[in-house]
Chain A
Amino acid sequence: EVQLVESGGGLVQPGGSLRLSCAASGFTFSSYEMNWVRQAPGKGLEWVSYISSSGSTIYYADSVKGRFTISRDNAKNSLYLQMNSLRAEDTAVYYCARGYYYDSSGRYFDYWGQGTLVTVSS
């Protein structure tokens, strides 16, 4: 059974840092692309970042570029999101999601974790 379990959320002051983790199991982690998606309280879904299966290709949403860093450790079956210079508008539930691609542009998120809440407030 595919499982994605996020951790590392919590309360942080504006300007602070936090590192989220996503532990994967039930599939060959090193073969899959991974993503972070967030959802502010009462709001819609916002794609945050993407990392290829090898870690060689990375993309970020404009809203987090330069502040967030996605990474993965295939030996540990883990995905990470280092979040620096946090702002109130970064407050959200952060989900990790497995990406599946079926052609050069065709991708979807087929498994999601339960999410971890990040609150940025003084």
Chain B
Amino acid sequence: DIQMTQSPSSLSASVGDRVTITCRASQSISSYLNWYQQKPGKAPKLLIYAASSLQSGVPSRFSGSGSGTDFTLTISSLQPEDFATYYCQQSYSTLKTFGQGTKLEIK
């Protein structure tokens, strides 16, 4: 199975900050990497697919990059509604594993 490891596990930041979350795959997954946002008590929401493609309706302050084994999610200027938990997911293999999550908290 492909293991997905996110860092950091938690992060404190302020409104307006630029934030980067990293996701590393245990083997190459080309660009088959998705990012989701989840708020407490809610279902996850797709933000980015294919490593860098922005899902329709998602603000342009969110961006993704990377290929192979190393990927990043960047929020260019944090807004109050961005404080949530973020998950990466690979779709390269049939078992579509998620990272363990990164909780973004208000500083």
- Show the binding face of A for B, using Cβ within 8 Å: 35, 37, 44-47, 50, 59, 61-62, 95, 102, 105-110, 112-115
**Do A112 and B43 touch across chains, with their CB atoms under 8 A apart?**
yes
A26 to chain B, nearest CB (A): 15
Closest 8 CB pairs of A and B: A112-B43, A108-B49, A107-B91, A44-B101, A45-B98, A47-B96, A108-B34, A59-B94
B97 at the interface (CB under 8 A from A): yes
**Do B96 and A62 touch across chains, with their CB atoms under 8 A apart?**
no
Number of B residues near A (Cβ < 8 Å) is: 26
- Show the binding face of B for A, using Cβ within 8 Å: 1, 30, 32, 34, 36, 38, 43-46, 49-50, 55, 85, 87, 89, 91-92, 94-101
A62-B1, A108-B91 known; A47 vs B46 contact (CB < 8 Å): no
Q: How many A-B residue pairs have CB under 8 A?
A: 64
**Do B91 and A114 touch across chains, with their CB atoms under 8 A apart?**
no
* CB neighbours of A109 from chain B (8 A): 34, 36, 44, 46, 89
Give A46 to B34 CA distance when docked, in angstroms. Answer: 14
Give A71 to B57 CA distance when docked, in angstroms. Answer: 31
* CB neighbours of A105 from chain B (8 A): 30, 32, 91-92
The chain A residue sitting closest to B85, CB to CB, is: A44
* CB neighbours of B87 from chain A (8 A): 44-45
**Do B49 and A46 touch across chains, with their CB atoms under 8 A apart?**
no
* CB neighbours of A61 from chain B (8 A): 95
Give A25 to B55 CA distance when docked, in angstroms. Answer: 21
